[in-house]
Amino acid sequence: MKLCTIIGARPQFIKTAAVSRAIAEHNRVKTQSSNITEIIIHTGQHYDDEMSAIFFRELEIPEPKYNLNIGSGSHGSQTGRMLAAIEEVLLKEKPDWVLIYGDTNSTLAGALVAAKLHIRIAHVEAGLRSFNRQMPEEINRVIADQLSQLLFCPSQTAVNNLAAEGIPPNVTPLTPNASRLTPHVIVTGDVMADALKFAVKKADTYSKALSRYNLKRQQYILATIHRAENTDNPERLLNIMTALSKLAEHETVILPLHPRTKNILEHTLSITPNLSPITSGLTFIDPVGYFDNIALEKNARIIMTDSGGMQKEAYWLKVPCITLRDETEWVETVTAGWNVLTGADEKKIIETALNIKTPSKHPSIYGSGNAAKNIIKALGVRS
């Protein structure tokens, strides 16, 4: 069976690493006839070494056969260029399946091209919803799910969200003869749990991040900000920065700075992160590799973020999380008491950070780290 994986942004490299590893394992133990040939197509949406190549090196992700070098741009121009370039590759490769991840513009472009070429689509991280269509990611997810034939959900909530949009849960198990076009929804768990399970030991062994940045366990806050709703709204971005800067009067606040946020601070708001009074006291660093980031997360007192992936990693690593958004797709982390939504409200961010407690209970959510295996199994049945 031939599978084209379409990825382009940082979290997709981390997710694909877990699935590519499971494909290699599947091919090692199965007969030649059921081998999965994976062809990786990197759209080039992320291209800086620390946003892309570092993950391929560290996580030993197979080399992409194609790098489309699309780069940055407005939604229309970036997605449009992806459509044309992906179409050319899929026409040439003629895969049985296209595998897409999450909710980026690379996900949307992959889904649109595959659907128009009548190639079946498998969507990893299906059914996630913020119910906020101002978010570009929400639009990408809704469309990707509507066009997919295999929908791999991390949780029952995701299954319910799909049902509400007319993609019903399955009443019968997946069979090889299932209709080509009928969507099939499967709760697989989250591939990021698989990725974390693999990386956490490596982070413990290899990461020097704590000594490199002069950090002490449990005595710092790790923060990341990159979402459009925060970075493209100067009021929200400045509120968040001010809150973080005030917290830095009490303890170290370290921020691996996403290039989007760096560009907006420097070029739109004329703030040089390490020099401006608005961001004074904050420790800005370049984005780090996955193992270093896991080490930074694991040893932080709190994680403050608008990242989707980091909310879940905080949960799995049992680190309290403050989500700098008004809503989240990862509602189970909030219900369990480990994640607090503060939006971009300066006072609320500071008060929550100063008073946050570690809940005594930690229910298992989003699977146990076997999502990639479940995904490969389902793809095998429908090959």
The residues that are catalytic are: 226
255 φ/ψ sector (left φ>0, alpha ψ -120 to 50, else beta):
beta
Per CB under 6 A, 56 contacts ligand UD1: no
Per CB under 6 A, 141 contacts ligand UD1: no
Q: Which of residues 289-328 bind ligand UD1 (CB under 6 A)?
A: none
Per CB under 6 A, 103 contacts ligand UD1: yes
Name the token pair of 44. Answer: 């080039």
Using CB under 6 A, pick the residue from 160, 263, 358, 364 that binds ligand UD1: 263
Main-chain dihedrals φ then ψ at residue 73, nearest 5 degrees: 165, 180
Using CB under 6 A, pick the residue from 282, 310, 375, 379 that binds ligand UDP: 310
Smaller CB separation from ligand UD1, 10 or 301: 10
Rounded Cα gap, residues 80 and 166, in angstroms: 28
Region near ligand UDP per CB under 6 A, out of 19-27, 308-316, 342-350, 364-372 = 308-316
Per CB under 6 A, 309 contacts ligand UDP: yes
- Dihedral sign for Cα 370, 332, 241, 141, please: positive
Rounded Cα gap, residues 239 and 138, in angstroms: 24
- Dihedral sign for Cα 26, 29, 35, 37, please: positive
Q: Which of residues 168-227 bind ligand UDP (CB under 6 A)?
A: 224, 226
Rounded Cα gap, residues 346 and 278, in angstroms: 13
Rounded Cα gap, residues 80 and 359, in angstroms: 46
Using CB under 6 A, pick the residue from 38, 137, 292, 313 that binds ligand UD1: 137
3-state secondary structure of 337: coil
Per CB under 6 A, 316 contacts ligand UDP: no
Rounded Cα gap, residues 137 and 36, in angstroms: 29
Query: In this structure, are residues 260 and 226 in contact, taking their beta carbons and an 8 Å threshold?
Result: yes
Region near ligand UDP per CB under 6 A, out of 164-172, 183-191, 272-280, 286-294 = 286-294
Q: Which residue stretches of the chain are H helix?
A: 10-29, 53-58, 75-93, 105-116, 136-147, 156-164, 191-206, 209-212, 228-231, 234-247, 259-263, 290-298, 308-316, 331-335, 346-355, 371-381
Per CB under 6 A, 20 contacts ligand UD1: no
Using CB under 6 A, pick the residue from 10, 120, 141, 382 that binds ligand UDP: 10
Region near ligand UDP per CB under 6 A, out of 175-183, 207-215, 284-292, 336-344 = 284-292
Per CB under 6 A, 319 contacts ligand UDP: no
Interface with ligand UDP: number of residues (CB under 6 A):
16
Q: Which of residues 207-246 bind ligand UD1 (CB under 6 A)?
A: 226
Region near ligand UD1 per CB under 6 A, out of 181-189, 208-216, 257-265, 370-378 = 257-265
CB of 364 to ligand UD1, least distance (A): 25
- How distant is the alpha carbon of residue 344 from its chain centre? 21
What residues line the site for ligand UDP (CB under 6 A)? 10-11, 14, 224, 226, 256, 287-290, 293, 307-310, 313
Binding site for ligand UD1 (CB under 6 A): 9-11, 45-48, 51, 72, 103-105, 136-137, 226, 259-260, 263
